[in-house]
Structure 1
Amino acid sequence: MKKLIVYISGLLLVVSACQKGEINSLNTPVVGGIVVNPSKSDLFNLVTGAESGMRNNVGTYLDGLGVLGREMYRFAGSEPRWTTDMLGGGTKTLDNNTFYITNPYAARYQVARQCFILMEALKTTRNEVATDAQKKAFKGFAETLIGYQLLLNINMTDSNGARIPVADNANLGPIITDPGVVLDSVIKFLDAGKADLTGSEVVFPLSEGFAGFKDAAGLIKFNRAIAARVHVYRKNWATALTALNESFFDLNGLLNTGVYNAFSTNGGDLSNPMYLQPNSTGEMRVAHPTFAAEVISGDDRVDKKTSVRSSAASSVGLTSNRDLTLWPSLSAPISIIRNEELILLYAEAKIQQNQFPDAIVALNRIRVSHNLAPYAGAVTQAALITELLYNRRYSLFMEGHRWIDLRRYKLLNTLPIDRPDDDVWSRYPIPMSETNQ
């Protein structure tokens, strides 16, 4: 892991031009200067850098989960591994020393490390720089981000494991191969973040991705939304509902209310890595053919999230006639978590508790919003889970959920095999840099 951190700070952050307060190297004397008697500007820069760092390699993360979950094809003339390794083409397997795992995995620990540096800096922060209530807000935000970043990594590696982030970068713990234990640690970070944010005062700046959630109350709602997702993953249904009630979940609210990674084309900032011009050639993100073929007639989500190409895109035996259009510009935000997901988490928890009328109300909120008639199928747990997964597939398309959902419900074997020698992978390998420690 120490090698991993050196790698990301020495290479990946050079690529991103040290955006918005990210530290060039987390193992240099610069860190020592920041954590001893920091100024308010130092603390603000650490927060801004941590938030900005969440964007690093988010495109690689979403591309990977989208390809593995057969939501899309990633055609790239300069990078054939999207259609070989990721789809198991021929004898190909997922490589533990390749960009699609090493880069997003490292980027998440980079953010966690910066958050620990922020918390270390708070220990010597003078009261005239930040009051106790303000320090609590810094710490609660840092803990929330650590939990969220760890969640993304265990999403990728599952039972291949992950390390629990720790403050002491010289004494890292072992790789934990039980994803439940890792998710429990995610919850511990999130719960600590909630406790510290409670009664705190937020004075640090956040991007417009946090619009509506920039004060302590808003950050607690964001924290609890992520916690609800994790509790659903852990099958803690009642606890998930409690977390939802403390989040920004609103059964009748706007579906797109939520927290986002913000991007721009301003000098020195990052542009949206998922945007590609429709009808492009060479570099393409195209929907898997089943996305349109399996949609219910009238469902508007297929046309809201994809568009028909002027001519079909084909590569190495794969073809699609629809571009991804979720991100209409280089400045478009990328969702971290939205109310639409929260409504579906609520529906899932209610189904699993056999509270079917409540679940159907939530499912109908989604269905009717997307031009479908209210649910009229069987009122059984199995039928409602099928309905839930359909709506999660189309509502949360390319937001990093389908592959995980099918793994959670042991349905990866239902994903299509497009070429005779392709495979469906259930998890990423641990990066080689981790296994060499």
Structure 2
Amino acid sequence: MKEYIYKFLVFASVAAVMVSCEVQEFSDLNNAEVDAFEDNLTRGDLQDLVGGLFYSSRVNIGTYLDDTGVIGREWFRFSGSDPRFTTDLLGGGSAILDNNTFYITNPWSARYRTVKNGNLILDFLGSQDLSAQFTDQEVSAARGLAKTFIAYELLLNLNLTDENGIRLDVSDANNLGPFVSKTEALAGIRSFLEEGATDLANGGEAFSFIFPSGFAGFDTPSTFLQVNNAIAARVAAYQGDNEAVLSFLEDSFLNLDPQDMDTGVYYNFSEDQNSLVNPMFISANGTTAAQARIVEPSFISDAMAGDGRLSKIVQLEAPVTLDDLVGDHIVFRYQSNSDVIPIIRNEELILLYAEANIAVDPTEAVNALNIIRESAGLGAYTGATDENSLTDEMLMQRRYSLFAEGHRWIDMRRFDRLDELPLARPDDDVFAMFPIPLTENQ
């Protein structure tokens, strides 16, 4: 099993790095000399291993976004080859979420594959004398990167299973740690991030490897530390720890500027045969009942007049219908198969800042919400400033600002508002969490 994981890792990493930067030639992708990693990790080896981390983090991210987007009633996923998008995920009739189906098993295993890749990097860095190849600072920086990725991937899986929990400790494939509760999982994820932040702070001025283009501007230890803190702010928000959210944001790349919404880090895609294309792109011309992401109609009817964020959807010439679901707009947040998908960006950070300040400083929360409204072409907020009213406004702005980025279902769940999500059919249900995959019990 371990040998198989190593071979996959090396193959995936080389494929990924070839897309984004020049690397040394590798001797044999099918029979990689992985044993050399354990005895004599070189700078080229570490580049390959980190490339594998970046590559695997993108695998099945489209399924994750469909899971959260469909259950969160952002869109209907029409697929002629798999009706489970419109039955299981929408709770149609007597349908329930299956624990042995692609919509949980594929993203779940992909995220844990990236966690494994991160753990392999940590193992290699900690199991040998690297002083001839790397400075102590370079080793520390690499550890910080790996721990940040491990934390983020665990968070995505927890977003799916929620109260059903996740495994935090999977460093030993032959002796996996137990499933832990949501509370314990969030605490563990935050701990990983804080450990990674310490490593990054001691990481010197540069990494010893090259990043893909989606991380432009955040490819040094100090700038990637800002990303680490941004993700930690999201985790703290999920914990309801407002003071920690604001503290982490102070050390992130938060910028309270209505012209700076998109600064952040992204999954990048391309048509190169060794890369992956953006799984969220379906062209308007290619939209049919057999292949479509149809916008849930209330996204349009609930929008404020003049909201520029409606550019994330596009109207079709005629409605499309499947399984008693109908709509005439498609998701157009991603306009080509090489468009990037956000991991975390400044617009989310401003909204996290607003959310934390609802309880801490309502006036500052309104100021932050107005920055979001201004960027969307809307006027200033004029509603009440009590906690419930500001929460309503904050969730409204998150709905439109973070559309098709994997947040709506999670937001409504953490504010106990899943019953407010619209039902297109009378027998549909909104599920709160996915079951643990069947393979975890075997």
Give the shorter-chain TM-score range: over 0.9
Return the offset for 1:89: 1.1
Assess if the C-alpha contact under 8 Å between 2:227 and 2:253 holds in 1: yes
Return the offset for 1:435: 2.1
Question: Which residue, 277, 289, 302 being the options, matches 1:294?
Answer: 302
1:425 alignment partner AA: F
Residues 115-165 of structure 1: CA deviation (Å, up to 9, x unaligned): 111111113252221111100111100000000000000000001111003
Bigger mean CA offset, 73-82 vs 116-125: 116-125
**What is aligned with 1:93?**
96
Residues of 1 paired with 2:249 and 2:364: CA distance? Answer: 14
Return the offset for 1:406: 0.5
- Map of 1:113-124 to 2, 5 A cutoff? 113-123=116-126, 124=128
Secondary structure of the residue that 1:101 maps to in structure 2?
helix
Bigger mean CA offset, 166-175 vs 228-237: 166-175
Return the offset for 1:7: 10
1:417 alignment partner AA: L
Residues of 2 paired with 1:261 and 1:267: CA distance? Answer: 17
Question: Which residue, 400, 406, 424 being the options, matches 1:418?
Answer: 424
Residues 30-57 of structure 1: CA deviation (Å, up to 9, x unaligned): 6544232211111111111101111000
Residues of 1 paired with 2:377 and 2:148: CA distance? Answer: 36
Residues 224-280 of structure 1: CA deviation (Å, up to 9, x unaligned): 000000001101101110100100001115100000001111221111111111142
Secondary structure of the residue that 1:373 maps to in structure 2?
coil
Residues of 1 paired with 2:357 and 2:59: CA distance? Answer: 35
Q: Is 1:273–2:275 an aligned residue pair?
A: no
Assess if the C-alpha contact under 8 Å between 2:9 and 2:117 holds in 1: no
Assess if the C-alpha contact under 8 Å between 1:313 and 1:321 holds in 2: yes
**What is aligned with 2:328?**
321
Question: Which residue, 13, 16, 22 being the options, matches 1:20?
Answer: 16
Assess if the C-alpha contact under 8 Å between 2:9 and 2:52 holds in 1: no
Assess if the C-alpha contact under 8 Å between 1:8 and 1:106 holds in 2: no
Secondary structure of the residue that 1:87 maps to in structure 2?
coil
Secondary structure of the residue that 1:434 maps to in structure 2?
helix
- Map of 1:97-246 to 2, 5 A cutoff? 97-123=100-126, 124-176=128-180, 178-200=181-203, 201-246=206-251
Assess if the C-alpha contact under 8 Å between 2:7 and 2:34 holds in 1: no
Q: Percent identity?
A: 42
State how many pairs are aligned: 425
**What is aligned with 2:400?**
394
Residues of 2 paired with 1:422 and 1:323: CA distance? Answer: 21
1:44/1:8 CA distance change after superposition, 3 Å: closer
Instruction: Provide the aligned C-alpha RMSD in A.
Output: 2.3
Secondary structure of the residue that 1:254 maps to in structure 2?
coil
1:45 alignment partner AA: D
Assess if the C-alpha contact under 8 Å between 1:112 and 1:165 holds in 2: no
Residues of 1 paired with 2:302 and 2:140: CA distance? Answer: 48
**What is aligned with 2:47?**
44
Secondary structure of the residue that 2:440 maps to in structure 1?
helix
Return the offset for 1:323: 1.1
Assess if the C-alpha contact under 8 Å between 1:272 and 1:330 holds in 2: yes
Return the offset for 1:9: 8.9
Structure 2, unmatched stretches of 5+, are 19-30
Return the offset for 1:358: 0.3
Secondary structure of the residue that 2:256 maps to in structure 1?
coil
Assess if the C-alpha contact under 8 Å between 1:317 and 1:419 holds in 2: yes
Assess if the C-alpha contact under 8 Å between 2:78 and 2:86 holds in 1: yes
Secondary structure of the residue that 1:213 maps to in structure 2?
coil
Return the offset for 1:18: 7.7
Secondary structure of the residue that 2:89 maps to in structure 1?
helix
Return the offset for 1:352: 2.2
Moved over 6 A (4+): 5-14
1:397/1:358 CA distance change after superposition, 3 Å: same
Secondary structure of the residue that 1:85 maps to in structure 2?
coil
1:6/1:69 CA distance change after superposition, 3 Å: farther
Assess if the C-alpha contact under 8 Å between 1:19 and 1:270 holds in 2: no
Assess if the C-alpha contact under 8 Å between 2:144 and 2:198 holds in 1: yes
Return the offset for 1:8: 8.8
- Map of 1:76-91 to 2, 5 A cutoff? 76-91=79-94
- Map of 1:242-257 to 2, 5 A cutoff? 242-252=247-257, 254-257=260-263
**What is aligned with 2:337?**
330
1:329/1:224 CA distance change after superposition, 3 Å: same
1:6/1:102 CA distance change after superposition, 3 Å: farther
**What is aligned with 1:311?**
318
1:343 alignment partner AA: I
1:299 alignment partner AA: D
1:286 alignment partner AA: I
**What is aligned with 1:25?**
none
